[in-house]
Amino acid sequence: MKNDKKQKNRHVYWNPYFGGFIFGILILFTFYLTGRGLGASGAMKSSVVSIVETVAPTHAQNNAYYSKFIEKDKSPLDTWLVFEALGVLIGGFISGGLSGRIGWRIQHSPKITSKRRLAFALGGGVLFGLGAQIARGCTSGAALSGMAVLSTGGFITMLAIFGSAYAFAYFFRKNWI
């Protein structure tokens, strides 16, 4: 048991309350500096917009959704959230590097194959991307940053995400347990 624990050492994470506390202070600080909360899916939206704009500029101009984010003389990637997402990558890399968690691998339950895991990851990503656009934000942008200012929209989004995740959890149990 003890040996096993040592081997699993790289899976020892921060105490969740400590992590949450630092996270809360970070949100506070973000609001104090910039007047808005954190976000993540916005960066991916910006990358999609810029990809579509380079591949098919006229299509991007004609589409009602892309054209919202296209400005003249300014790349769609030049937004706050893209810089923040870059920071997330750097920060994650630093933390992972410090505790030796960096390495190419596919993490999945021993009961399923890697292929199945990747297929579900893709499907989950598509759903999340779609949902995040409909709700105008993901767990960090809408739910967490919204809750920090008592936004009704943030609370409803949070309840909807976790409610439906619990409801669907039964169907995906084989993937995780």
- Provide, rounded to whole angstroms, the least separation between the CB of residue 116 and another protein: 11
Q: How far is CA 136 from CA 50, 173, 177, in A?
A: 19, 28, 31
- Provide, rounded to whole angstroms, the least separation between the CB of residue 70 and another protein: 12
Nearer to another protein, 72 or 159 (CB): 159
> 3-class DSSP state for residue 102?
coil
- C-alpha span between 48 and 78 (Å, rounded): 13
Binding string to another protein for residues 102 to 131, with x set by CB under 8 A, is what? xxxxxxxx-------xx-xxxxxxxxxxxx
Instruction: Show contacts with another protein in window 13-72 (CB under 8 A).
Output: 13-14, 16-17, 19-45, 47-49, 51-52, 63-66
- Region of 68 on the Ramachandran plot (φ > 0 left; ψ -120 to 50 alpha; else beta): alpha
CB 27 within 8 A of CB 144: yes
Among 70, 77, 112, 156, binds another protein (CB under 8 A): 156
Nearer to another protein, 55 or 72 (CB): 55
**Does residue 133 touch another protein according to CB under 8 A?**
yes
* Contacts of 104 by beta carbon, 8 Å cutoff, 6+ apart: none
Binding string to another protein for residues 79 to 98, with x set by CB under 8 A, is what? -xx-xxxxxxxxxxxxxx--
Nearer to another protein, 72 or 107 (CB): 107
- Provide, rounded to whole angstroms, the least separation between the CB of residue 78 and another protein: 8
- For residue 71, the cross-strand partners are 74
Nearer to another protein, 58 or 104 (CB): 104
- C-alpha span between 108 and 134 (Å, rounded): 29
